[in-house]
Amino acid sequence: DIVLTQSPALAVSLGQRATISCRASQSVSTSSYNLMHWYQQKPGQQPKLLIYDASNLASSIPARFSGSGSGTDFTLTINPVQADDIATYYCQQSRELPLTFGSGTKLEIK
Amino acid sequence: EVQLVESGGGLVQPGASLKLSCVASGFTFSDYWMSWVRQTPGKTMEWIGNIKYDGSYTDYAPSLKNRFTISRDNAKSTLYLQMSNVRSEDTATYYCTRKGITTDWYFDFWGPGTMVTVSS
């Protein structure tokens, strides 16, 4: 199985940039696609898709969210961070089955 | 508006069976692959499996394949998860999800989830 590693938590000041990383145990990229996706989960709610294929913004997601990366290293950036962004962020790979998720990064405000 | 609403969770004894349902609305259910994903109390997310839009094909996480079965009724816009011989480690919130429109496997909509607790 492909293991996705995320840092447990990140503290950022409001209005600053947050950079959340996800490292895969093997490449999740093909010649055409980077098969990494990002979700936001607020307390007591279901996850919401933010980014698909590493860098594509999902429908209705604000442009302050962006994604990048290829191969084994991927990044979700939130700039600027707003109070409403307090949540846990998960990455998920679809390069091969079983589909796997990272353990999540909890975004906190300094 | 796309909506997915799960039901059927609750307290169940080890070794028992349980069937979860997910009613979909706001889109043409029969056009989409669907999946189940669960989240443990410790917040670990685990993919359970997928089912093709017409119900003719399924994939499962290898560790769950022998105990869990995914099915669907397109006439009722309903997705199912049959769980058998449940164990304490099956305690989780179970989410019904819709596969995104592209060829890649991501989940563009999630239901609010139904909680399953396995305990004697």
Mean pLDDT for all residues in chain B:
97
Contacting residues of B for A39, CB less than 8 Å apart:
107
Q: Indicate yes or no: CB of B110 within 8 angstroms of CB of A35.
A: no
E strand or H helix that includes residue A8 = none
What's residue B102's pLDDT? 83
Helical ranges in B1-120 per DSSP H: none
Region class of B43: left (phi > 0), else alpha (psi between -120 and 50), else beta: left
Contacting residues of A for B100, CB less than 8 Å apart:
49, 52
What's residue A19's pLDDT? 98
**CA B112/CA A55 separation, integer angstroms:** 26
Give yes or no for B108 touching A (CB within 8 A): yes
pLDDT profile of chain A (110 residues), mean per 10: 97 97 97 96 97 96 98 98 97 97 96
**CA B37/CA B43 separation, integer angstroms:** 12
> Within the 6-65 window of chain A, which residues sit less than 8 Å (CB to CB) from chain B?
33, 35, 37, 39, 45-49, 52-53, 58-59
CB A4 within 8 A of CB A101: yes
What's residue B96's pLDDT? 98
Give yes or no for A67 touching B (CB within 8 A): no
Of A58, A88, A94, the CB nearest to B105: A94
Q: Indicate yes or no: CB of A46 within 8 angstroms of CB of B107.
A: no
What's residue A17's pLDDT? 97
Give yes or no for B45 touching A (CB within 8 A): yes
Q: Indicate yes or no: CB of B62 within 8 angstroms of CB of A99.
A: no
* Interface-testing mutation among A46, A59, A74, with chain B (most B C-beta atoms within 10 A): A46
Tokens 């999630």, located at residue: B110
A81: closest CA of chain B, how far (Å)? 23
pLDDT band (50, 70, 90) for residue B75: very high
Strands A88-93 and A105-109: antiparallel
Each residue's pLDDT tens digit, B52-72: 999 999 999 999 999 999 999
What's residue B104's pLDDT? 87
Of B47, B95, B110, the CB nearest to A100: B47
For chain B, state the CA radius of gyration. Answer: 13
Each residue's pLDDT tens digit, B24-55: 999 999 999 999 999 999 999 999 999 999 99
